[in-house]
Amino acid sequence: MRQIRNLPLYRPNGTPAYGWIQIPQNLLNGDNATINGDVYYFGADFVGLSAAQATRSLCEAINAQQEDANEINPTNTNFFRGYYAEMRGSYIVIFCTVPGTAGNAFTLATSNANRIVISGATFSGGTPGSIVTANGGALTDGSGTITAGGTAQQVFASQPGRAYLIIQNLDAAETMYVNIGAAATAGSGSFQLLSGGSLVFENGYIPSGSVSIIAATTGHKFTAKEA
């Protein structure tokens, strides 16, 4: 049996919040960036280094916190950071390690807004999880037979609030075609359902357009249900 299904968006924990830092010019001794209370200082050794070198060094320093030697002591959790960094061109993008809205409260600060540019005072973009849950309810049955072989027929009218749709070809040998939002044809633009095949829309994206089918033989059986 051939089955066509659309996959729902699966982000059970949401998306992580993030912010960015850019160093557009050489730094001065004492310049610093603060990430959620953790201060990263540029000392005298950095004065005169290029902005690109300073950017790479800061990115490495942020991630080095995750590999602190103190990790051999499970009672010392102070070295753990709730964020990590990635180089994206001339930017350091800093992601919260825990996805969701909590990361939107992570703070960013700079000692000099010209030499160390930040995306904003806090991270942004963190979103809550979206585990798909099943919805109950009655199904509308549009099952039946092809009334005129070779002619498209509408099974369901358009429904903006449609939450579920299934069409199945019940003929033992003949192919059936399905289209959404326009008349079905036995060619491109329509879904081809072989014998026993089905087309299912559920969970994520559910098309709201009218449902049309076509098959070659009058009396061709099919199942169609929506909610």
Residues 99 and 37 both lie in one domain: yes
Q: Give the residue carrying structure tokens 């579920």.
A: 164
Residue 57 CA to residue 83 CA, distance in Å, equals 16
Model pLDDT, residue 76 = 47
* DSSP-assigned beta bridge partners for residue 183: none
At 165 the three-state DSSP class reads strand
Answer whether residue 209 is part of any domain.
yes
Model pLDDT, residue 73 = 46
Tell me, what CATH number does 181's domain have? 2.60.120.770
Give this prediction's pTM. Answer: 0.51
Is-contact 126 16, C-beta < 8 A?
yes
Residues 112 and 32 both lie in one domain: yes
CA-based radius of gyration for the chain = 29
Domain boundary among the residues 57, 92, 118 is at 118
Give the chain's domain count. 2
Give residue 209's Cα distance to chain centre: 24
198-201 and 3-5 strand pairing: parallel
Residue 86 identity (one-letter amino acid) = E
In a structure prediction context, what are the per-residue pLDDT tens digits for the chain, which is 227 residues long? 445 544 444 456 678 899 999 999 999 999 999 999 999 999 887 777 899 999 999 999 888 855 544 444 444 445 567 899 999 989 999 999 888 888 999 999 999 999 999 999 999 999 887 655 556 678 999 999 999 999 999 999 999 889 899 999 999 999 999 999 999 999 899 999 999 999 999 877 889 999 999 999 999 999 999 99
Domain boundary among the residues 92, 118, 144 is at 118
For residue 207, give its domain range. Answer: 3-7+136-226
Question: What sign results for the dihedral spanned by CA atoms 5, 168, 180, 133?
Answer: negative
Residues 142 and 168 both lie in one domain: yes
At 21 the three-state DSSP class reads strand
Model pLDDT, residue 136 = 67
